[in-house]
Structure 1
Amino acid sequence: MSRPLARTAAAVAGTTLAVSTAFVATAAAVPTSTDGAPSFQEFRASTFKDFDTQYIVNGDEPAATDGVLRQFYDTMVAQPDTDVDGLIVNRVNGQDDKWSASQALNLTYCVSTKFGADYSRVVSAMTAGVGQWEAATTKVNFTHVTTQDGSCTTRNNAIVFSVEPTRTTQYIARAFFPSSPKSSRNVLVNAASLYNAGSWTPSNIMAHELGHTLGFRHEHTRPEAGTCFEDNNWRALTPYDSASIMHYPQCNGTSDDLSMTDQDRAGVRALYGS
């Protein structure tokens, strides 16, 4: 999640092509080809790369390889459909991007001790963040495996995902989707930014990122938002919610603190059960 949201965009076939760029208030222009859309090479060159290993798109979502980034690009330049409902779940190959019923009850994670002096604060933010989703449904359960915190990386197969520090100021935190490979299943957090985000509380920021780990997309990609379009690879779960925890306030959202709404709770129950 970047704050303030900084994006580069180009009009493409009546839609908007957008990527996360610098952690600044204004967006820089992306070079475009003669038809108004950036070429893939221009798009790739303008896309922020986390630790020089993974591209970051849509503000806080990873694209691990050039191939994945190309798929994202191809989706961006495609004509959008007209589906207009929902707190929305990501779709992969026409299927909901979600955990199985058994896995959703055993979402284990570690919090890296490399956070140093910020370790306890990040643990607290994660505990509060997972608690918001767990309070909405008994079908989702996150477990902090503290014994794995000393070796907390994506290579640790004793946990489903890791929570690790990042020094970049390009975003506050970023997460992953259930369909992400194990090598990409981490939540990266800039602890200093997490605790200096104004009205966005650490609990709500982490709950937003954990929403991605459950499969939820940014609500503002929906046509009703009128801005910050990402793509159409999603399925509706509830009516549009401009105050959703998954809706960036700076993308015509109506919440100033990124808090969870009743429709967010209804959305997770619609996807995983009540």
Structure 2
Amino acid sequence: MKRIVGAWTCLAALVTGSVGCGEAPQEVSPSEAGKDVRSPTWEEFLASAYFQPSTGLYIANGDEVFTSLEELRSYYDARVRRSENGVSRNPLIVNAVDGEMKVWSATQKRHLTYCVDSVSLAARYDAVVRDLGAAMREWESAADVKFVHLSQYDGNCNPAQENVLFDVREAYEPSEVCNVDPKLVGCAPRNEPSPGLPPSYISSIIAQAFFPGVQRSARSLIINSYDLETDERYAVVNNVLSHEVGHILGFRHEHIRIPSTNPSCSGTDWLEVTEYDQQSVMSFTLCGGLDYRRKLSDLDRAGARAIYGLPKDVGADFNRDGQDDLFLYNPTTGAVETRYGHPLMNGLHFEAATQQTWSSNLKLIPGDFNGDGYQDLFRYSPTTGAVEIRYGSAAMGAFVVSPSSQVSFSPGLELIPGDFNGDGYTDIFIYYPATGNVEIRYGSPVMTQLLFSSSSQQVWAAGLKLIPGDFNGDGYTDLFRYNTTTGAVEIRYGNSSMGALSSSASSQQTWSLNLNLVAGDYNGDGRTDLFRYNTTTGAVEIRYGASGSGALLTSPSSQHTWVLNLTLVPGDFNGDGYTDIFVYYTPTGAVETRFGAAGTGPLQFSSSSQEAWSANLKFVPADFNGDGRTDLFIYFPGFGGSEIRYGREGATSFVFSPSSQHLWNPGWELISGYVPSH
């Protein structure tokens, strides 16, 4: 997988102006991205730069900010002018700062905290919060990253605010208004050019972001005040927010690697992650891109996954609209339908076109098996072995049927989804509990049957419980093996091959029997941990994931004793990047949430999360309104009552929503994301 990634520590800006490519968007093949391109002269490169009057900074390539003309020249000499005869940008050439890719660390990528300046944005504050959040959810749905809005700092949100990773604010460029529309009252041509630039040059910055690795004072997402003044101009801002978030994650402009007569549309300092993608949100319209897009392309998503790993959202978004959905299946009658998430806290959207009748007694496994960003459903009949994949799509209708995905497996299998080879496609690990036979069937970009791999076939012990997770944080799904008869445990680690999982003798231990194991990233370090709950004694403990290929880390301070008969539901209910556990006492309906936190200690107690709900409920965790916080769908199996309790910021109880309450038929099996219950 390849995608352009920021290879230095500088700012990124989305610029429009008279110095563009000078030609309409046109199709550019991936092969053209590797052609020889003449290096611009210093004069050409300087003419393509923009001087920002309010800061005194120079912006070049639409991506980089330089503090002086001297620094700009130094960059040109070191990075742009490769030789008098030109520079070859072969797709295999990689250039980076000190040989390193500049992206967020495994820990930081789940805690990209920010504030939004309510003072400078004023009347546009609510719109920016909403639309920027939607842009962030688009990237979060593609990869294992987490943006966290710390709204308590919005009243004092600026580069000096050290309690957030970055700030979002407005900035005024007085000259820009005249550049965009010289006919405005009070506008007049410049009396003299900006320092070092020709008089003919004009440009306008819509928004300006940054790359990972810069100091705090430079970590700002800035929106030009001119573009906030009318709804028409703000619509352009809304369209480029996904592009700016891509910069914050480290992704470069796609067009800098294609041949161009304009130096502002080309560059040499990049690392390739995917092939050239004209439909990318990281492409400029004037530089070969098709338009400014809010939705990521398939290659955008593949590249994001290649860098940051698969997303850890517990829900499933079948139509890829940013809100998780709920699939309803009656195992007795075969009746199915999909209820779609909604951005408001008013329940799920009904769509009659999704109602169908499938076979009875199916096992349904959600996953993105063809890597297109839509969650699919893997259908398996435990009695006949018949399998098929039904594919998600943008339409609010029935899933896409794929006859070529219809094959037969053996009956009586246990199926576990994960990206075991880290290629961005969901795979299925097949385990036959009666004999211990295992193999992996691999996902691929086409809507067909999963790929067979004879080298993945092995014989394991019978009677195992298998928990998927990335326990060492290397981007591959691993399997935690727990023998419920002996207590023997081991981790088998994913790898880049399409073969067997890697064994690890150092991960082998003996644990207690009768454990309920709940996977999650409780300390937010990018590695999967296991919450252990002994169903006979009530003893609890967290074993934390670690780098390498050894055993999980013991945490004596996380050891406590809870009551029996608890249902434990994982999710990030307050959206802070740490997995929490919803604790439900089945006999009485008493509930509370224990919140994840940094370190290797226990979950955090919160008395304000304690409430009394009804007994004997069923729960499905997912982000149904797309706000970055896990919600709980509540179902009363006996009579079909349902409602959603919505997650919210802070360590407190859920948001009650009367408008989400409905009476459904009893007997539904409810499916969103894959949450193993062992």
TM-score range, shorter chain: 0.7 to 0.9
The amino acid across from 2:90 in the alignment is D
Match of 1:248 in 2: 284
Give the secondary-structure state (helix, strand or coil) at the position aligned to 1:92: coil
- Which segment drifts farther, 223-232 or 254-263? 223-232
TM-score (norm: length of structure 1): 0.78
Deviation of residue 178 (structure 1)? 0.3
Match of 1:209 in 2: 244
Deviation of residue 153 (structure 1)? 1.0
Q: Alpha-carbon deviations, 1:33-60, whole Å to 9, x = none?
A: xxx53299xx399631252243222225
Distance 2:281 2:81 in 1: 27
1:121 aligns with 2:124: no
* 1:235 aligns with one of 271, 278, 292: 271
Q: Alpha-carbon deviations, 1:197-254, whole Å to 9, x = none?
A: 598560x411101111111000000125675444211111111101110000111223
Match of 1:62 in 2: 65
Contact map agreement 1:112 1:162 (CA 8 A) in 2: yes
1:107 aligns with 2:129: no
- Which segment drifts farther, 225-234 or 239-248? 225-234
Deviation of residue 124 (structure 1)? 1.4
Give the secondary-structure state (helix, strand or coil) at the position aligned to 1:91: coil
The amino acid across from 1:161 in the alignment is F
Contact map agreement 1:110 1:161 (CA 8 A) in 2: yes
1:49 aligns with 2:49: no
**Cα distance 1:150–1:5, how it changes in 2: closer, same or farther (>3 A)?**
farther
Contact map agreement 1:248 1:258 (CA 8 A) in 2: no
The amino acid across from 2:82 in the alignment is A
* 1:140 aligns with one of 142, 145, 153: 145
User: Which sections of structure 1, spanning at least 5 residues, go unmatched?
Assistant: 17-35
Contact map agreement 1:85 1:238 (CA 8 A) in 2: no
Once the two structures are superposed, the pairs formed by residues 1-274 of structure 1 within 5 Å of their partners are 1-4=14-17, 6-7=19-20, 14-16=38-40, 37-38=42-43, 43=46, 47-49=50-52, 51-64=54-67, 68-74=71-77, 75-79=79-83, 80-84=87-91, 91-113=96-118, 114-137=120-143, 139-168=144-173, 169=176, 170-193=204-227, 195-197=231-233, 200=236, 202=238, 204-223=239-258, 228-255=264-291, 257=293, 259-274=295-310
Give the secondary-structure state (helix, strand or coil) at the position aligned to 1:78: coil
**Cα distance 1:65–1:270, how it changes in 2: closer, same or farther (>3 A)?**
farther
Give the secondary-structure state (helix, strand or coil) at the position aligned to 2:107: helix
**Cα distance 1:239–1:166, how it changes in 2: closer, same or farther (>3 A)?**
same
Distance 2:68 2:217 in 1: 11
Give the secondary-structure state (helix, strand or coil) at the position aligned to 2:283: coil
**Cα distance 1:161–1:66, how it changes in 2: closer, same or farther (>3 A)?**
farther
Contact map agreement 1:199 1:257 (CA 8 A) in 2: no
The amino acid across from 2:297 in the alignment is T
**Cα distance 1:55–1:259, how it changes in 2: closer, same or farther (>3 A)?**
same
Contact map agreement 1:134 1:141 (CA 8 A) in 2: yes
Distance 1:214 1:94 in 2: 18
Deviation of residue 2 (structure 1)? 2.2
Distance 2:95 2:248 in 1: 10
Q: Alpha-carbon deviations, 1:79-132, whole Å to 9, x = none?
A: 43322379xx98322211101011011000011112111111111121111111
Deviation of residue 171 (structure 1)? 0.9
Distance 1:244 1:39 in 2: 27
**Cα distance 1:66–1:201, how it changes in 2: closer, same or farther (>3 A)?**
closer
Distance 2:306 2:48 in 1: 39
Give the secondary-structure state (helix, strand or coil) at the position aligned to 1:242: coil
Contact map agreement 2:208 2:222 (CA 8 A) in 1: yes
**Cα distance 1:109–1:221, how it changes in 2: closer, same or farther (>3 A)?**
same
The amino acid across from 2:208 in the alignment is R
Contact map agreement 2:15 2:205 (CA 8 A) in 1: yes
The amino acid across from 1:78 in the alignment is R
Give the secondary-structure state (helix, strand or coil) at the position aligned to 1:38: helix
Structure scoring higher RCO (CA < 8 A, sep ≥ 6) equals 1
Distance 1:56 1:240 in 2: 24
Match of 1:24 in 2: none
Contact map agreement 2:135 2:294 (CA 8 A) in 1: no
Distance 2:117 2:292 in 1: 30
**Cα distance 1:85–1:192, how it changes in 2: closer, same or farther (>3 A)?**
farther
Contact map agreement 1:244 1:255 (CA 8 A) in 2: no
Contact map agreement 2:117 2:167 (CA 8 A) in 1: yes
Distance 1:196 1:61 in 2: 28
Q: Alpha-carbon deviations, 1:241-273, whole Å to 9, x = none?
A: 011100001112234646420100001111111
Deviation of residue 149 (structure 1)? 0.8
Deviation of residue 67 (structure 1)? 6.1
Distance 2:110 2:256 in 1: 28
**Cα distance 1:65–1:125, how it changes in 2: closer, same or farther (>3 A)?**
farther
Deviation of residue 73 (structure 1)? 2.1
Give the secondary-structure state (helix, strand or coil) at the position aligned to 1:95: coil
Give the secondary-structure state (helix, strand or coil) at the position aligned to 1:15: coil
Give the secondary-structure state (helix, strand or coil) at the position aligned to 1:208: helix
Give the secondary-structure state (helix, strand or coil) at the position aligned to 2:305: helix
TM-score (norm: length of structure 2): 0.33
Distance 2:95 2:109 in 1: 16
Distance 1:60 1:51 in 2: 18
